[in-house]
């Protein structure tokens, strides 16, 4: 609260001889509490000797705007923690507000009155911040509370205003409680003396997430000013107070957060339904609380068209969390009004609701040849770690991107702008599809770090097959019972170990891939400080399409981590020797040591033959472990 | 009169399509080769009609595969490879004798052409040589098709493959780029010299493709597969390793990174000595990089 201007105002009003209580000099001056009539008295016309109501003596001005600066979930006028250094913001203190882009009353429509889909732009533009009202009681929870302390002696001509800069007015919106309800308070709109005397309740909503930190870093300042007229009629400012707030970032999930619900596309055919059933069984075994939900779409790559995340602000009783579905920036060029991958509309049509927001960010001029990288299968999150004295408490986003082959730059800028999970980039340009989930994943372990990296190792796969061949099993078949589907039927995919080892192109490609993965690993190891015993190698070979690599065997690393103790991997259909699939045995052994059970799901016909695997075809919302104190990650 | 013109133009377009295979025109093959292929196809169609139906089946699925593709190109090659050697002549017929039956979007056309070339190349069957030579020599508007044709020819590893690719390497930038890709698959000692020359090309893309090609031509795991004629293995890998170490020393990024990758891929036993020798006379920064390369070679992820 600014006291200097308040005192100046007192001098102007009352002359130089004024004590801090504003009532004039002298020891026998009555106290403010004794002489200043209450607001009620003023309203009743009483308040002073002589019968005729008189304006109360103003007393020292109280120009005090408060927010939840100490992040305990409340705004308290009697707590200096909500006042001290409120004009600054850092990881230790400062109020937080949310982008109010969920839809608490499900009022946003995804179709026009004629039943046609609304444009992608219009779809994303509708949310609780797109109007000037607070959309129900649930919406109030999404707003950051603020309070103006009562100034019981505010003179009749006192007018308060809370202002935002012109730029910040586009980023946030204020509300004021009047007659029991929150109504929009435009920047610089007057707050009456009556209101100032009683104290005022305000609320702030963010109108969008941070999209580009070069344009806005998420912080804004509210300036509260009380003006009035001096005795001689000239204007006077009783005081000014400022509060700085920061918008909560969007935080992506890592695998140490157990799955709350898994998702899979239902394309309606038998293969899809069989996979859904198998996934549901695995999810049940893993104890996924809300099981598996099918998304009705022909787009089978559920991992690719949205990524789940969340944002939070402190609230009484625990953080208030709003989940987020980030729509992929895939440009499918359907029409000018619907340029994006249509399945991604689920970010709004299925997910946007109470406390669940949808977000999209894309550049319509992005290079279509790089569009595969915009699929959110190319968006993973390294779990939390500390290395070289720097703690990444929420982990880091991991994506495939190099200067010559990169995802949508505006989407990347949006991720960068969240700050708390600084993206780490590796080269996936040598892959046909180009997604990080093709070569890496993460599992929770009882180690000092708390997790290990799963990484594809084609050389291990080759050596396993060579060992089996050397033991006399060269004729053992792989991919038994599996087929390459075509329009009129299908062709058997079965090959023997020897045939695989004789396949020059598979051997050549797998060797090249081993080197490329090693380079990815070097980057992750250098950044994270991973040691060799924190890496679990997952064997499968690669083949070449147009001189780019894609999994030749179902890529077992490309599974869904359902809970701390359950990983659902693609069934490898490897050679069965001594009654066991040697590749299944390998993964079960590696993950079994960490207390993780592996369920193998047959994804051959649905995903593998189409250049993807289990992870590519599934998605999840997870527990929000970082909600409580994300600011510590700054 | 108008009707006659119309009929003639329709006939002309039909004739034009009849002269065009999916990848090359009939005229791209010499008359003798074309007649020989037509005869072989006709015989094979009568003997193995199922193989022709199978290839046609895959061809018919390309549109759908392309529309639902997940990566940069629909993976048609693996589906054709799975058909085995019986599919060779049907695929050659498509490549050189039979026009595309329907208009396809560019990405689907590319997927089919690249897929056919990859699958034919993977068979490493000398019966494909004439078509693959013609495909490699042809002017392709699509660089992906040009590279796929060159790679397919390179996989044959024949004297004719080497000669054709060497001639391509003397052509325009597009041909030189394709040649670099093809020579990388042509695991013969003679390929190394041509690649070495291309690794100093004025065009960056050609230069870098040649560096990649040097790694590919010496790929130790490729050489170790049974079925590879290994008489030229030692000479090829040694020459490739020498070229790559020299390029590592002389190159800046990304050539240095590609050279390092190639050195690991070739995995020639003489590499540590080559690296040590390269340190002599090198500046401090290069010596540091070479030392790191030695460490990386010692932990080669391909072994």
Contacts of B85 in chain A (CB under 8 A): none
Based on the number of CB atoms within 10 Å of its own CB, is A560 exposed (0-12), middle (13-18) or buried (19 or more)? buried
> What does the alpha-carbon distance between residue A566 and residue A288 come to, in Å, rounded to a whole number?
10
For chain B, count helices (H), then strands (E): 17, 0
What is the length of chain A?
634
For all residues of chain A together, what is the average pLDDT? Answer: 91
A501: pLDDT strictly greater than 60? yes
3-state secondary structure of A146: strand
A27: pLDDT strictly greater than 70? no
Q: What is the ipTM of this complex?
A: 0.94
Mutation target vs B (from A545, A551, A553; most B CBs, 10 A cutoff): A545
- Single out the residue of A595, A598, A596 nearest to residue A584, CA to CA: A598
- In this complex, do B60 and A487 lie within 8 Å of one another by their Cβ atoms? yes
A237: pLDDT strictly greater than 60? yes
B45–chain A Cβ distance below 8 A for any pair = no
- C-beta separation of B262 from B240 below 8 A: yes
Closest chain B C-alpha to A381 CA, distance in angstroms: 21
Contacts of B68 in chain A (CB under 8 A): 610
B72–chain A Cβ distance below 8 A for any pair = yes
Contacts of A460 in chain B (CB under 8 A): none
Query: What's the pLDDT score for residue B235?
Result: 97
Query: What's the pLDDT score for residue B14?
Result: 40
* Residue numbers of chain B with a pLDDT score lower than 50: 2-17
The band of A513, judged by pLDDT with boundaries at 50, 70 and 90, is very high
A 274-313: CB under 8 A from B:
301, 304
3-state secondary structure of B9: helix
Distance of alpha carbon B45 from the chain centroid? 27
The band of A58, judged by pLDDT with boundaries at 50, 70 and 90, is low
Question: Quick one: DSSP state of residue A127?
Answer: S
**CB nearest to B75's CB, from A432, A514, A517:** A432
- C-beta separation of A376 from A303 below 8 A: yes
B51–chain A Cβ distance below 8 A for any pair = no
Question: Quick one: DSSP state of residue A340?
Answer: B
Query: What's the pLDDT score for residue A605?
Result: 95
Average pLDDT over residues A347-363: 98
Contacts of B303 in chain A (CB under 8 A): 459
- C-beta separation of A341 from A303 below 8 A: no
Q: pLDDT tens across A357-375, in order?
A: 999 999 999 999 999 999 9
Query: What's the pLDDT score for residue A323?
Result: 98
Closest chain A C-alpha to B79 CA, distance in angstroms: 6
- C-beta separation of B97 from B129 below 8 A: no
Question: In sequence order, what DSSP letters do the residues of A396-449 get, joined into one string?
Answer: EEEEE-BTTB---HHHHHHHHHH-TT--EEE--TTBSS--GGGTEEEEE-SSSS
Query: What's the pLDDT score for residue A486?
Result: 74
Q: pLDDT tens across A409-444, in order?
A: 999 999 999 999 999 999 999 999 999 999 999 999
Which residue on chain B is closest to A485 by alpha carbon?
A: B79
Distance of alpha carbon B126 from the chain centroid? 15
- Sign of the C-alpha dihedral, residues A589, A594, A596, A601? negative
The single residue listed with the structure tokens 């993807």 is: A612
- C-beta separation of A382 from A442 below 8 A: yes
Compute φ and ψ for A446, nearest 5 degrees.
Answer: -90, 60
A 165-204: CB under 8 A from B:
none
Q: For chain A, how far is it from start to end, CA to CA, in angstroms?
A: 27
A232: pLDDT strictly greater than 80? no
Element at A161 (helix H, strand E) = strand A159-163
**CB nearest to B61's CB, from A433, A486, A544:** A486
A579: pLDDT strictly greater than 80? yes
Closest chain B C-alpha to A579 CA, distance in angstroms: 26
Contacts of A512 in chain B (CB under 8 A): 215-216, 219, 261, 265
A391: pLDDT strictly greater than 80? yes
Query: What's the pLDDT score for residue A32?
Result: 35
Q: pLDDT tens across A404-418, in order?
A: 999 999 999 999 999
A 363-392: CB under 8 A from B:
369, 372, 375
Closest chain A C-alpha to B34 CA, distance in angstroms: 27
Closest chain B C-alpha to A219 CA, distance in angstroms: 39
A501–chain B Cβ distance below 8 A for any pair = yes
> What does the alpha-carbon distance between residue A187 and residue A183 come to, in Å, rounded to a whole number?
13
> What does the alpha-carbon distance between residue A453 and residue A442 come to, in Å, rounded to a whole number?
5
Closest chain A C-alpha to B161 CA, distance in angstroms: 17
- Confidence (pTM): 0.91
Mutation target vs A (from B204, B222, B229; most A CBs, 10 A cutoff): B222
A-B contacts (CB, under 8 Å): 128
- The runs of H, that is alpha helices, within A428-550 are 458-468, 497-502, 504-528
**CB nearest to A502's CB, from B83, B115, B227:** B227
Element at A95 (helix H, strand E) = strand A95-97
Query: What's the pLDDT score for residue A627?
Result: 81
B102–chain A Cβ distance below 8 A for any pair = no
A26: pLDDT strictly greater than 50? no
Tokens (6 digits) for A47: 């308040």
- C-beta separation of B55 from B10 below 8 A: no
Region of A382 (left: φ > 0; alpha: ψ -120 to 50; beta: rest) is beta
């Amino acid at each position: 609260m600014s006291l200097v201007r308040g005192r100046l105002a007192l001098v102007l009003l009352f002359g130089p001889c004024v004590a801090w209580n504003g009532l004039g000099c002298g020891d026998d001056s009555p106290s403010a509490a004794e002489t200043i009539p209450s607001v009620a008295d003023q309203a009743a016309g009483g308040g002073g000797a002589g019968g005729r109501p008189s304006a109360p003596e103003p007393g020292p001005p109280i120009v005090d705007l408060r927010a939840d600066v100490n992040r305990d979930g409340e705004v308290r006028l009697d707590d200096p923690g909500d006042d001290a250094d409120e004009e600054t913001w850092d990881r230790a203190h400062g109020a937080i507000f949310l982008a109010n882009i969920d839809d608490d009353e499900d009022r946003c429509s995804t179709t026009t009155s004629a039943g046609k889909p609304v444009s992608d732009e219009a779809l994303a533009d509708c949310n609780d911040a797109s109007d000037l009202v607070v959309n129900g009681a649930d919406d109030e929870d999404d707003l950051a509370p603020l309070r103006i302390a009562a100034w019981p002696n505010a003179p009749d001509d006192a007018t308060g205003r809370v202002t935002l800069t012109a730029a910040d007015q586009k980023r946030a919106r204020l509300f004021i409680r009047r007659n029991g309800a929150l109504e929009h308070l435009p920047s610089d709109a007057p707050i009456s003396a009556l209101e100032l005397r009683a104290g005022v309740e305000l609320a702030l909503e963010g109108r969008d997430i941070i999209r580009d930190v070069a344009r806005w870093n998420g912080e804004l300042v509210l300036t509260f000013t009380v003006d009035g007229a001096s005795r001689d009629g000239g204007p006077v400012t009783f005081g000014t107070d400022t509060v700085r707030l920061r918008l909560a970032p969007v935080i992506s999930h890592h695998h140490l957060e157990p799955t709350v619900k898994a998702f899979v596309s239902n394309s309606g055919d038998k293969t899809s339904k069989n996979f859904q059933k198998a996934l549901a069984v695995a999810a049940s075994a893993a104890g996924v609380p809300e099981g598996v939900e099918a998304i009705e779409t022909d787009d089978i790559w559920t991992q690719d068209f949205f990524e789940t995340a969340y944002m939070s602000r402190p609230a009484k009783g625990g953080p208030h969390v709003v989940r987020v579905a980030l729509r992929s920036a895939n440009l499918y060029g359907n029409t000018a009004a619907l340029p994006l991958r249509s399945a991604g509309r689920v970010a709004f049509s299925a997910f946007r609701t109470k406390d669940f927001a949808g977000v999209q960010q894309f550049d319509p001029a992005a290079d279509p040849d790089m569009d595969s990288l915009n699929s959110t299968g190319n968006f993973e999150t390294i779990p939390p770690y500390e290395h070289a004295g720097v703690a990444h408490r929420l982990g880091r986003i991991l994506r495939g991107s190099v200067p010559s082959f990169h995802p949508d730059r505006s989407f990347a800028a949006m991720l960068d702008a969240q700050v708390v999970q600084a993206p780490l980039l590796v080269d996936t340009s040598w892959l046909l599809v180009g997604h990080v989930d093709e070569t890496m994943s993460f599992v929770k372990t009882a180690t000092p770090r708390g997790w290990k990296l799963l990484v594809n190792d084609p050389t291990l796969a080759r050596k396993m097959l060579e060992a089996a061949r050397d033991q006399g099993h060269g004729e053992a078949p792989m991919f038994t019972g599996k087929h390459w589907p075509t329009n009129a039927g299908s062709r058997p995919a079965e090959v023997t170990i020897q045939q695989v080892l004789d396949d020059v192109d598979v051997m050549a490609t797998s060797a090249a891939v081993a080197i490329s993965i090693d380079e990815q690993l070097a980057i992750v190891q250098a950044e994270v400080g991973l040691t060799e015993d924190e890496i679990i190698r997952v064997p499968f070979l690669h083949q070449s399409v147009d001189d780019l690599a894609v999994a030749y065997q179902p890529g077992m690393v490309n599974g869904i981590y359902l809970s701390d103790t359950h990983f659902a991997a693609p069934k490898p259909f490897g050679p069965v020797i001594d009654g066991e699939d040697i590749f299944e045995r390998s993964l079960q052994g590696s993950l079994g040591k960490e207390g993780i059970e592996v369920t193998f799901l047959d994804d051959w016909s649905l995903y593998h033959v189409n250049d993807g695997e289990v992870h590519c075809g599934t998605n999840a919302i997870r527990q929000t472990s970082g909600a409580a104190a994300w600011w510590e990650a700054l | 009169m108008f009707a006659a013109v119309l009929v003639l133009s329709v006939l002309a377009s039909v004739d034009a399509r009849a002269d065009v295979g999916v990848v090359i025109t009939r005229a791209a093959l010499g008359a003798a080769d074309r007649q020989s292929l037509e005869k072989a196809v006709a015989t094979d169609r009568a003997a193995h009609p199922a193989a022709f139906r199978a290839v046609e089946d895959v061809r018919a699925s390309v549109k759908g595969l392309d529309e639902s593709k997940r990566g940069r190109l629909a993976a048609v090659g693996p589906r054709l490879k799975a058909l085995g050697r019986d599919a060779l002549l049907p695929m050659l017929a498509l490549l050189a004798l039979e026009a595309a039956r329907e208009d396809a979007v560019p990405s689907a056309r590319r997927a089919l052409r690249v897929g056919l070339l990859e699958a034919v190349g993977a068979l490493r069957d000398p019966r494909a040589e004439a078509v693959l030579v013609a495909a490699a020599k042809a002017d392709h508007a699509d660089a992906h098709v040009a590279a796929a044709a060159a790679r397919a020819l390179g996989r044959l590893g024949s004297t004719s493959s080497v000669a054709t690719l060497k001639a391509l390497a003397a052509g325009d930038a597009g041909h030189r780029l394709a040649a670099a890709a093809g020579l990388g698959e042509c695991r013969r000692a003679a390929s190394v010299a041509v690649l070495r020359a291309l690794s100093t090309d004025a065009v960056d893309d050609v230069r870098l493709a040649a560096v990649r090609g040097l790694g590919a031509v010496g790929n130790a795991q490729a050489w170790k597969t049974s079925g590879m004629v290994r008489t030229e293995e030692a000479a090829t890998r040694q020459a490739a390793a020498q070229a790559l170490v020299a390029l590592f020393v002389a190159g800046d990024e990304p050539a240095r990174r590609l050279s390092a990758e190639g050195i690991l891929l070739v995995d020639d036993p003489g590499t540590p000595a080559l690296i040590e020798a390269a340190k002599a006379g090198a500046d401090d920064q290069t010596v540091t990089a070479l030392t790191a390369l030695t460490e990386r070679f010692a932990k080669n992820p391909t072994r």
